[in-house]
């Protein structure tokens, strides 16, 4: 398994090795020993699966406040998506900076999104299945969202704003500056 780190401390991209033949392939997409060596111990408590039917569906930028902050281990099993995370740890030297990674069924990448980050993705194809393991249960009272096109974040999404499909909640989300500090 290949490991990629970033200029922002915390996130890790795992590229599982695939063994294939005429039948298809096999891959170890999660190994606790490898994960803990690279990230540290985490207890995953819930697996989530979202399906997006149309290219240009954007979900995010989401987070959960403490004490229900979620670390996420994400991957795409069908189609392709641009996965984006934003550091919102107030004490971090990379506060407000983002990382964008293309996750596809072909590349099989698995992306670790630590607690203290906004998370969102935009589908690059029709019929995208997005799977993620999380370290805390979903809690509506701790749920938060930041506007996907906040100019202060400088995220370049793959489609113009008027071509995106978003939820009402995501479309009405506040700017990051309107939240104040969320994580230390």
- From the DSSP assignment, how many helices (H) and strands (E) are in the chain? 2, 13
Write down the catalytic residue from 30, 62, 109, 138.
62
Q: Is 137 a catalytic site residue?
A: no
Q: For residues 175 and 178, what is the distance between their CA atoms, to the nearest angstrom?
A: 5
Beta bridge partners, 48, equal 132
Within 8 A by CB and 6+ apart from 51, the residues are 127, 128, 129, 130
Q: Is the alpha carbon torsion for 46, 34, 14, 23 positive or negative?
A: negative
- Phi first, then psi, for residue 65 (nearest 5°) are -75, 160
Determine whether 132 is an active site residue.
yes
Catalytic option among 95, 132, 137, 142: 132
Tell me the three state secondary structure of residue 73: strand
Measuring CA to CA, which residue among 169, 162, 152 is closest to residue 87? 152
Residues designated catalytic? 62, 132
């Amino acid at each position: 398994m290949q490991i990629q780190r970033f200029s922002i401390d915390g996130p890790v991209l795992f590229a599982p090795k695939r063994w294939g033949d005429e039948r298809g392939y096999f891959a170890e997409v999660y190994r606790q020993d490898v994960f803990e060596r690279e990230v540290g111990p985490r207890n995953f408590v819930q697996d989530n699966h979202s399906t997006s039917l149309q290219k240009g569906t954007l979900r995010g930028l989401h987070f959960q406040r403490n004490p229900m902050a979620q670390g996420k281990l994400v991957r795409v099993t069908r189609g392709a998506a641009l996965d984006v995370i934003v550091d919102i740890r107030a004490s971090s030297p990379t506060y407000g900076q983002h990382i964008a990674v293309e996750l596809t069924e072909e590349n099989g990448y698995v992306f670790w999104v630590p607690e203290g980050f906004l998370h969102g993705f935009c589908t690059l194809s029709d019929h995208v299945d997005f799977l993620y393991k999380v370290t805390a249960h979903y809690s509506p009272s701790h749920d938060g969202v930041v506007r996907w096109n906040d100019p202060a974040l400088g995220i370049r999404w793959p489609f113009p704003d008027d071509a995106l499909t978003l939820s009402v909640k995501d479309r009405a989300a506040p700017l990051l500056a309107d939240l104040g500090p969320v994580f230390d």
